[in-house]
Chain A
Amino acid sequence: MKFTLNWLKQYLDTDKTPAELADKLSLIGLEVEELIDPSETLKPFIVAEVLDAKPHPDADKLQVLSVSIGEGEPLQVVCGAPNAKKGLKGILARPGDMIPAFGEKIKKAKVRGVESCGMMCSMRELQLGQDHDGIIELDANAPVGTSAADVLKYEVVFDAEVTPNRPDYLGVKGIARDLAASGMGTMIDEQFDPVKSSIESVVSLAVADDAKEVCSYIGGIYSEIKRNPVRSGWIGDLLSAVGMNPKNFLVDVTNFMTLDSCRPMHAFDVDKLSGNLTVRQAKEGEKFVGLDGVEYTLTSADTVVADDKGVQLLSGIMGAKSSGCDENTKNVFLIAETLDPVAIRRTARRHNIQSDAKFRFERGVDPASVGYGLSKATHMMNYVCKGEVSGLVEAGAVPSDDRSISYDLKSFKQLIGIDIPSDIAVNILTVLGCDVTGTDVLTVVPPSYRQDLKEVHDITEELIRIWGYDKIVSQTLDINPVVKPVLLPAQTRLFQVKRLLASIGMNEALSWSFVSGKLEEKLIGQTGVRISNPITPDHDVLRQTGLSSLLPFVSSNQARGQLNLQLFECAPIFNGINPGDQEMVVTGVMSGESQEKSWDKREHAVDVMDAKEALFTVLDRLGLSDKVQLVTDELIPGVHPYRSARVLLGKFEIARFGEVHPMIIKDQSIKTGVAFFELFIDRIPLKAKKGTAKQELQTSAFQGVRRDFAFMADEDFKSGDLIKAVKKLNPQLITDVYLFDVYQGEKLNGKKSLAITVVMQPMDKTLTDADIELVAANVMITAEDLGLSLR
């Protein structure tokens, strides 16, 4: 909502500065987002007189002016405005001055080879209006050399954010009322004499039965006017100051009423109507061409004002192109309606129409303002247009308003925590327009323009916002010692995983939950949840794999020259369209070298084993690295078929790791291989908290034994199977099995050699040679069962 200081001052007698008013408004509920006070920005610009104007030697449309600023030598200025001529007084911007419309300082420059020491300004360049046809022309007696701030007419403009509960703020008068209640001035009573009726209306009004729920009341006044001015003077100026283009006087008056009193109304050109007007529901498929020139196909849920020919107004939203007023209108029928907000909102949404009237009606226009609005608008029109005016014609009835709130001042203390003195409370509510009786228990009858005041807490809010939140003496909450951890167990686990991954050198990234459907399709062979209104075409689905977020990061980082990456993210993936279909995943990607090239040769090109190492560091921490099963050699979309695995815990896939398929790498313009892991952490049951006390340590008094074995195996043999089988042989005795060598070479004819160390740690006796030989024999039998032979 935009309004000007002068407009506000029509209703508020105040000596406060614009900044003070803006601050107060922000505190009481109308947040002023911008205050445009041109007096500051206009200061450096000065009045200059054109002493001479010559054609530019090299450009037809330019002139070279010699301008005086009252002192010093005349300045040479190149100017393209058609109206620049000798003797004109205008506004000069000199090098260093900030041009408001450009947000830039102007510089001394050569224009087509001729030096220019400044610029003669248009209204638009100074952000004082839309006029850019030429430079500003001042009165002949404007004093040369004085500041533009002293000679130009300008408006101080407020731009404020109106919350949906306060439609009364959508009229300048409502804003003035709140400022008066907040001690920023006094309300100026509006005084005008209603125009006396002298003729009968030639148009009558009716509300059809089917429209009564939407339109409870409609009123109209008919005028036969004598004058219809082309320009609408101060009204037009006010409208343009707040960004609304003036149309013609009659329409401008209705627009003024919309912005001034939040009272939208409509003016029909009676000569374009046929017959009387009826408020009714539209017929299914009925056509309507709005003022915007667009043809709308209406439905029976839309409420319209129609004459014998058809729809002339989409109620509360927009008039018809065919019957609007213009500068030739002689007979005017002005109407105003009381409408149901939800119905208006639905119709506007259905046809996707925005209008100032709709914006107000859907929030709630004062249901009792029809008569006032018609009377004031008629007064304003008649003041200029003269002529004859009818009495009020109407249909339906002003809806009854029996709100009366019993307000015990104790309820203020109960909710806010402090007492409010009765006289202050009564005063605030009274200035806000309520009828108030009583002292400790108040009976509050709110005004018709504050339909938002219905309940006790509505009144509490009015009192504290006007009295001031700074009156509240703060208190702290009682604290009960917290025994339970503050974080949910799953949260704690996730924080720990994050710290663990960062501690092994990975960088935590954060991405958007929506990703490119195309990429996801390539990565997992399907796209799940689509967004109806994506923010960009590349963010059209909710991800089902963290890779869809992190691969583009690899690509963008590599494009910036960062090839070696170790990124991870903990974020939700979405398996369905409903709440609860999401799960947390921990995704990691690695690319390039493990680290910078170094003299000690620690670097290596990262591959699937690096991803596995990171994943198993986490699984180890979760106590699972020995409990999981790997499923390998599967053809899964998006990944290297022979360098990827799924990790099962029981029946559930809890993780996967591998290398991204080279086709996708190529497609994403990634310059190195990418290894990844993805941990579906929510699928892992949370361990019951066992407390911090640990089982008593049992140390063995007997010597441990290590024995090494080397086996020959087929190339495809999974070494993990050997380790698992050996560990299983005698878990009490065999405490560890380490694979210490893998050798594959031409000499081995497609076989490979695996070498393991078996660690035996007896708890109750020293192992005899026979004991050790027995274990060794069992190890060899186990290996043979797996198809291995001793090397």
Chain B
Amino acid sequence: MSINVDQIKNDIMAATSVADVEELRVSLLGKKGQLTLAMKELSGLDPEARKEAGKQLNEQKQEVAVAIDSKKAELELIEMNAQLEKDKIDLTLPVNQGKKSGTLHPITRAMMELSAIFANMGFEMAEGPDVEDDWHNFTALNIPEWHPARDMRDSFFIEGAETILRTETSAVQVRKMEKDGAPVRIFCPGRVYRVDLDATHAPIFHQCEGLVIGDSVTMAHLIGTLQSFLKSFFEVEQAPIRMRQHHFPFTEPSIEIDVDLGNGKWMEVLGAGMVNPKVLENCGVDSSKYQGFAFGMGIDRLAMLKYGIKDLRKMSDGDVRWLRHYGYAPVEMPSKTEGLS
């Protein structure tokens, strides 16, 4: 029985479905298939002829099998694709619809930025309580009981106690030095409280205190430190500032620092000075060996300047529209590596 391989291959090529191909496979290569039977018929030939015919038949069988497999794969893909059409969906359907994206408050962001900057200058963070006693908030800071400087800061008083809500983060200076002595290089962000409420004042706001005490820390270091802070925070090459004489009982000399808003107006952002030796002594630090500087900055004001926030009162009224607009995505991590903004 002769095998017409070309005819067989044409038949395979003409198949239009996987089932057709399968049917052909059975009729050709199955138990009773044409080629299988032809193989069996070889047993009647003499050995020399059988060897020759067997070789030829095997090659033909191989050729047919390859043709079947390739046709089958081709048709399978076509059939699968036809099937996939049923999976078709409208890819313009919206996703994440109305999903709220979470945000961090601008004050949190500002604190993260401050931390990044002070980290770079070798500072550590310190903290203190919001409710303070007279010693830490006033007396140790060289504001004795009947001193008019107490009028500068209207305090909230705690009923039935000798305590108040701290009026400045300076109280943390005292706690830190009482605990660890000198040298010191810390910054302390926190809430402070003053009886004040109008368009530009809130009874609670945020300050960041800094304290550097060493054996030869001078006012030149104070100014250098604050200049590099302002440059880092506002991300500018030059930060035009002006230093004005001021009075804080806990520092002498005392200054206030204004930044140039670029419209001919100055805005006060910092108070600073050389720590009054009396404060050092009050905290158990030997003022004949150590000296240094302290500064305090209003975080709310810095944040407003940097982030374009106009109304201080909206900072703490919980308006979710404001929080979503002025808040920051948690994936943004202000750092020296990724940049502060």
Contacts and interface: CB of A to CB of B under 8 A. Distances in A.
Interface of A: 26-29, 31, 163-166, 341-342, 345-346, 362-363, 414-418, 455, 457-458, 460-461, 464-465, 469-470, 472-480, 482, 484, 486-488, 491, 495, 498-514, 529-536, 539, 542, 550, 552-553, 556-557, 560, 562, 564-567, 572, 574, 577-582, 595-600, 602-603
16 contacts: A164-B152, A417-B220, A474-B221, A476-B225, A486-B123, A487-B125, A500-B330, A509-B320, A533-B195, A550-B318, A557-B320, A579-B163, A580-B129, A596-B99, A597-B98, A603-B98
Contact of B102 (A487, A501, A564, A572): A501
Contacts of B148: 164, 341, 345, 362-363
Contact of A416 (B219, B277, B320, B333): B219
B42 interface: no
Contacts of A502: 102-104, 327, 329-330
A316 to B, nearest CB: 13
Contacts, number: 276
B220 A482 contact: no
Contacts of A165: 149, 247, 249
Nearest to A564: B100
B100 A345 contact: no
A595 B98 CA distance: 6
Contacts of B212: 477
A532 B158 contact: yes
Given A486-B119, A503-B330, A557 B319 contact: yes
A520 B103 CA distance: 27
Given A477-B121, A487-B115, A595-B99, A508 B331 contact: no
A582 B124 contact: no
A531 B97 contact: no
B233 interface: no
A474 B125 contact: no
A582 B163 CA distance: 13
B237 interface: no
Given A567-B318, A595-B98, A579 B104 contact: no
B161 to A, nearest CB: 4
Nearest to A162: B247
Contacts of B121: 477, 479
Interface string B154-180: 001111110101000000000000000
A167 to B, nearest CB: 9
Given A417-B219, A507-B102, A474 B224 contact: yes
Nearest to A529: B158
Size range of the chain B interface in the assembly: 35 or more
B335 to A, nearest CB: 11
B199 interface: no
A508 B104 contact: yes
B133 interface: yes
The 8 closest A-B pairs by CB, nearest first: A596-B98, A417-B220, A553-B318, A417-B218, A163-B247, A29-B245, A474-B224, A502-B102
Contacts of A553: 317-318
B21 to A, nearest CB: 38
B146 A342 contact: yes
Interface stretch (B1-9, B76-84, B105-113): B105-113
Contact of A461 (B119, B123, B242, B252): B252
Interface string B171-215: 000000000000001000001010101000011100000001000
B91 interface: no
B70 to A, nearest CB: 37
Interface string B296-334: 000000000000000000011111110110010111010
A536 B105 CA distance: 25
Q: Which of A166, A511, A578, A599 counts the most chain B CB atoms within 10 A?
A: A578
B97 A532 contact: no
Contact of A572 (B130, B221, B254, B291): B130
Given A457-B252, A465-B253, A499-B330, A477 B221 contact: yes
A535 B315 CA distance: 17
B317 to A, nearest CB: 7
A166 B247 contact: yes
A7 to B, nearest CB: 22
B158 A469 contact: no
A74 B318 CA distance: 58
A313 to B, nearest CB: 21
Contacts of B100: 505-507, 564, 566, 595
A488 B176 CA distance: 13
A598 B330 CA distance: 25
Contacts of B105: 508-510
Q: Which of B94, B97, B152, B329 counts the most chain A CB atoms within 10 A?
A: B97
A441 B327 CA distance: 57
Contacts of A27: 242-245
Contacts of A345: 146, 148
Nearest to B268: A31
B99 to A, nearest CB: 5
B330 A562 contact: no
Given A475-B221, A486-B115, A512-B316, 7 more contacts: A27-B244, A416-B253, A477-B185, A477-B217, A503-B330, A595-B98, A599-B93
Contacts of B24: none
A469 B255 contact: yes
Contacts of B216: 414
A531 B245 contact: no
B104 A577 contact: no
B115 to A, nearest CB: 6
A158 to B, nearest CB: 15
Contacts of A166: 247
A503 B102 CA distance: 6
A474 B219 CA distance: 8
B149 A164 contact: yes
Nearest to B194: A535
Q: Which of B146, B152, B191, B219 counts the most chain A CB atoms within 10 A?
A: B219
Given A507-B323, A582-B130, A163 B221 contact: no
Contacts of A578: 131, 133, 161, 163
Contacts of A31: 244, 246, 256
Given A345-B146, A363-B148, A474-B220, A491 B131 contact: no
Interface string B262-281: 00000000000010110000
A488 to B, nearest CB: 6
Given A507-B324, A535-B197, A582-B130, A488 B125 contact: yes
Nearest to A596: B98
A487 to B, nearest CB: 5
B157 to A, nearest CB: 4
Given A164-B151, A165-B247, A574-B130, A417 B221 contact: yes
Interface in B223-257: 223-225, 227-228, 242-247, 249, 252-256
A659 to B, nearest CB: 20
Contacts of A529: 131, 158-159
A577 B161 contact: yes
Contacts of A532: 156-159
